[in-house]
Amino acid sequence: MNLWNMESKVVTAKERLGYSLKQYGAIQIILGLGCLIMTFVSIGIDKEVADNLETKKIDMINVTLPTYSIDKKTIMLGLDVGSLISAVWIVVTGVLPGYMARHADYSLIKTKVYFMVFSIMAASFFVPLIVGAALTNFILRGSHRELLVITGLISLLEFIVSFAASVHCCASPWAACKLAKKDKQVRSEQYVDNEKQMTKLELPEYQP
């Protein structure tokens, strides 16, 4: 083996941090798609329930009055739409770090800021909205409640991931100069290791 031409792959601090952000993003994409699927199923179920509720009317003094079920229909479908928007936000949050880091010369600081803001918004507003909608529809709906339980569990997992991603963005190095310093230190250590390996190489004796 020719050690003179041997090149080792050096993983920089920027690459490690970018990879971790992409991991958090991938998990959020999976959980967001899960919420999205559950929401579409809930919309179909609630629409069918609402159509059945509209047929129930009360005849009072020759005047047909709608029952409270009409308001129930509006509440259920409105919560489903809110859950749909929230699930889309979660998917977009997960796609964000991968999209912004699609080029090698991407801005890590900007990627962290955008991903952190989107994750904080997901954990503080959109995920609680899905959980609240699932809980309310669980009370209003008379069937298929197990789907709402699954939606709630997925949303709770998303809350944990979003919160962890926000903390990770805050706790990881921010200044670009610190990352550059770490990268330089890694390259320097790698260079020293290669020098030590090359000094151990036994060269053939020169013969004129």
Beta bridge partners of 65: 58
Give the model's pLDDT for residue 178. 62
CATH, residue 68: 1.20.140
Beta bridge partners of 70: none
Q: Is residue 65 part of a domain?
A: yes
Give the model's pLDDT for residue 70. 53
Give the model's pLDDT for residue 22. 94
Q: Is residue 199 part of a domain?
A: no
Rounded to whole angstroms, the Cα distance separating 56 from 50 reads: 10
Residue 193: CA count within 13 A, CB half-sphere: 11
Rounded to whole angstroms, the Cα distance separating 152 from 120 reads: 19
Give the model's pLDDT for residue 17. 85
Q: Is residue 5 part of a domain?
A: no
Q: How far apart are the first and last CA of the chain?
A: 25
Residue 159 domain boundaries: 14-180
Give the model's pLDDT for residue 12. 74
* C-alpha torsion 10→14→16→21, nearest 10: -160
Q: Is residue 9 part of a domain?
A: no
Residue of 18, 14, 16, 29 whose CA lies nearest to 162 = 29
Rounded to whole angstroms, the Cα distance separating 136 from 207 reads: 89
Residue 50: CA count within 13 A, CB half-sphere: 17
Q: Is residue 66 part of a domain?
A: yes
Give the model's pLDDT for residue 129. 94
Residue of 129, 153, 142 whose CA lies nearest to 38 = 153
Give the model's pLDDT for residue 191. 65
Q: Is residue 150 part of a domain?
A: yes
Q: Is residue 198 part of a domain?
A: no
Rounded to whole angstroms, the Cα distance separating 197 from 191 reads: 10
Query: What backbone phi and psi angles, to 5 degrees, belong to 59?
Result: -90, 115
Give the model's pLDDT for residue 105. 80
Q: Is residue 7 part of a domain?
A: no
Structure confidence by residue, pLDDT tens digits, 186-206: 667 666 666 666 665 544 554
Give the model's pLDDT for residue 5. 44
Beta bridge partners of 64: 59
- The CA–CA distances, whole Å, from 166 to 6, 26, 162 equal 40, 15, 6
Sequence-ordered strand ranges (E) for the chain? 57-60, 63-66
pLDDT per 10-residue tile (average), the chain, 208 residues: 47 81 96 95 82 54 46 84 95 95 85 94 95 91 86 95 94 66 66 62 51
Q: Count how many domains the chain has.
A: 1
